[in-house]
Structure 1
């Protein structure tokens, strides 16, 4: 299974039995517990690597007249999450959503047998490895041709609660625009880590979006003194590899049950939004756009569409995509 078959990841690890894990951060040189299936590591913040091994946004496409496709896959629960399904799209529309079981399995999907475009989206939740993809009939790999969009964020960008991997808000926006998506949503782990900044710096992209702040608020990661500088430093690293690439920075979406409540370092969500804006504006960067996350969903919409007091449900992610799609654009 050649690397070119799949897209949306940073590094592919292949074990001795031929199973491929698609890492959205490059674990080489990091103390990540690379060969530990659950991503445990001997360093603080190891959960980031468990999240990085989840193939959110990873997909492959073919032009095919086959009557059947078989995908050999291994699935396990990573820490704190569930298993998401695999989506099979034909000519851009959802054709089959295949639920997974824990363990090794072979997914078999009947295809129309006509000349169609097939895209397989791997799960956005769970510890997933892939071994082989085979067809009954002809299939020619069809790599992405659109501009690459890279988006970084928290669980609200990973979208474990979406209906399926092709219906996360980044997937919906990318599909609508015809973009080549790299989705760097890490549930609970969007803390401005240097490895994330370096990955964005080193990944070619025509557009970069960053949804920052909700994990920083929940984890009390930075204080009002340190957060603006951390945002500034993160953006400087990104700019080292993308001097003029448009960057869209989105502050936390509304969270009605948390608004106005100080966290353990005394910051409210509005304080976090203000610190992020201060850090961003310190660059005086004409190619940097700020979006106030409170404008994406209203408090009333959040109360109706959130699955809990923080995370949108499946229809909430669809609405986020509808709201962000016209705001995320490429320059002419």
Structure 2
């Protein structure tokens, strides 16, 4: 049993207490009175150039703390950076089911009252966007808290842009990667980096090093906007990214998703001289070439089948899905991930 302090009829579990299991983080940083997950290896962060990428990697998309308790109230405190403007929410998942979502107060506090009685496994999902850390989790004064064992669930790793980071999702556990993972009973590691999915070789190596039973990569939209590749270099870069992932996961099901619809970009050249339609076709060509050369465990998921012209009204700003759009993406993606898991050796 962890040693807990009693404050105002509540027990406080510090974020660095080993009774809390951090899930969805590549590494965990413990600061002075706070902890946060990193979605790239903090111990080697110097090998991931670019402050924008590092800033996104320090955000908590898909990161949660897991513990066992018999508490009827669960709450906690965040440490919030000064530049955070988005309204923040924290989600409560109990025994695999999303049961509540709470706003974060001006003082960083959040609270879930009326939690179902009895012993249970609790997951506190941290805000997916913004500079935040967890100071502590709180439970009823009389409640017990214990370390919840790893249940050995299948492991889903996702990589992509802001459309995988899901800033505008309804709440942290309702991003499309989180919805897919929960529907399939999988443990999620989300490497969605808003504006920063540029096929970085070191990110590919990180994915290759992570435990995974199925991997979903969503490629192309940041390349369009950032001009990070051209017609000459994009296809080789996609092949190199996927081959590097394969070094660590030779037979893991690998789903490669091309960009979802973006009406203003479909036939208009971006910064690298490629239209979104061309980028989508090149992603498909990469999968075809890999399969032609013997990789039977890689499969294409056409972004237009996930979120096409019929769903364009759910693009809140013409580029990013709104909350309903991310829920639709999850519904569209789940069958492909389920089929991949059915063939995986979990």
TM over 0.5, shorter chain: yes
Write the distance in 2 (CA, Å) between the matches of 1:267 and 1:14: 43
Choose which of 29, 45, 56 in structure 2 pairs with 1:30: 45
What stretches of structure 1 of length at least 5 have no aligned partner? 33-42
Choose which of 201, 205, 215 in structure 1 pairs with 2:208: 201
Greater share of helix: 2
Asked if 1 retains the 8 angstrom alpha-carbon contact of 2:181 and 2:188, the reply is yes
Deviation at 1:62, TM superposition (A): 3.2
Q: Residues 156-182 of structure 1, C-alpha deviation per residue, up to 9 Å, x if partnerless? A: 111110000110011001000000100
Choose which of 127, 132, 135 in structure 1 pairs with 2:131: 127
SS in 2 for 1:326: helix
Write the distance in 2 (CA, Å) between the matches of 1:51 and 1:72: 21
After TM superposition, what 4+ stretches of structure 1 lie above 4 angstroms from structure 2? none
Asked if 1 retains the 8 angstrom alpha-carbon contact of 2:220 and 2:259, the reply is yes
Write the distance in 2 (CA, Å) between the matches of 1:31 and 1:200: 17
Deviation at 1:44, TM superposition (A): 5.8
Range moving further from structure 2, 113-122 or 306-315: 113-122
1:9-48 to 2 correspondences below 5 Å: 9-15=25-31, 17-31=32-46, 45-48=50-53
Q: TM-score, normalised by structure 2?
A: 0.86
Write the distance in 2 (CA, Å) between the matches of 1:21 and 1:119: 15
Q: TM-score, normalised by structure 1?
A: 0.89
Asked if 2 retains the 8 angstrom alpha-carbon contact of 1:21 and 1:130, the reply is yes
Match of 2:342 in 1: 331
**Do residues 139 (structure 1) and 148 (structure 2) align?**
no
Q: Residues 80-135 of structure 1, C-alpha deviation per residue, up to 9 Å, x if partnerless? A: x7343111123444333222246x53333323333344221111111111122232
Write the distance in 1 (CA, Å) between the matches of 2:205 and 2:87: 29
Aligned residues: 318
Q: Residues 261-295 of structure 1, C-alpha deviation per residue, up to 9 Å, x if partnerless? A: 11123210111112222333333311100111111
Asked if 2 retains the 8 angstrom alpha-carbon contact of 1:83 and 1:125, the reply is no
SS in 1 for 2:92: strand
Write the distance in 2 (CA, Å) between the matches of 1:198 and 1:227: 18
Match of 1:6 in 2: 22
Choose which of 54, 60, 83 in structure 2 pairs with 1:49: 54
Asked if 1 retains the 8 angstrom alpha-carbon contact of 2:239 and 2:286, the reply is yes
Write the distance in 2 (CA, Å) between the matches of 1:30 and 1:117: 32
What stretches of structure 2 of length at least 5 have no aligned partner? 1-16
Write the distance in 2 (CA, Å) between the matches of 1:320 and 1:141: 33
Write the distance in 1 (CA, Å) between the matches of 2:202 and 2:300: 23
Asked if 1 retains the 8 angstrom alpha-carbon contact of 2:305 and 2:332, the reply is no
SS in 2 for 1:62: strand
Choose which of 280, 301, 305 in structure 2 pairs with 1:291: 301
Match of 1:40 in 2: none
Deviation at 1:198, TM superposition (A): 1.2
Match of 1:172 in 2: 179
Asked if 2 retains the 8 angstrom alpha-carbon contact of 1:75 and 1:101, the reply is no
Write the distance in 2 (CA, Å) between the matches of 1:94 and 1:176: 11
Write the distance in 1 (CA, Å) between the matches of 2:73 and 2:306: 41
Asked if 1 retains the 8 angstrom alpha-carbon contact of 2:23 and 2:66, the reply is no
**Against the structure 1 CA distance between its residues 156 and 77, is the aligned structure 2 distance closer, same or farther, given a 3 Å change threshold?**
farther
CA RMSD of aligned residues (A): 2.1
SS in 2 for 1:30: helix
Write the distance in 2 (CA, Å) between the matches of 1:309 and 1:259: 12
Choose which of 243, 248, 260 in structure 2 pairs with 1:241: 248
Match of 2:71 in 1: 66
Write the distance in 1 (CA, Å) between the matches of 2:274 and 2:324: 30
**Against the structure 1 CA distance between its residues 115 and 159, is the aligned structure 2 distance closer, same or farther, given a 3 Å change threshold?**
same
SS in 2 for 1:166: helix
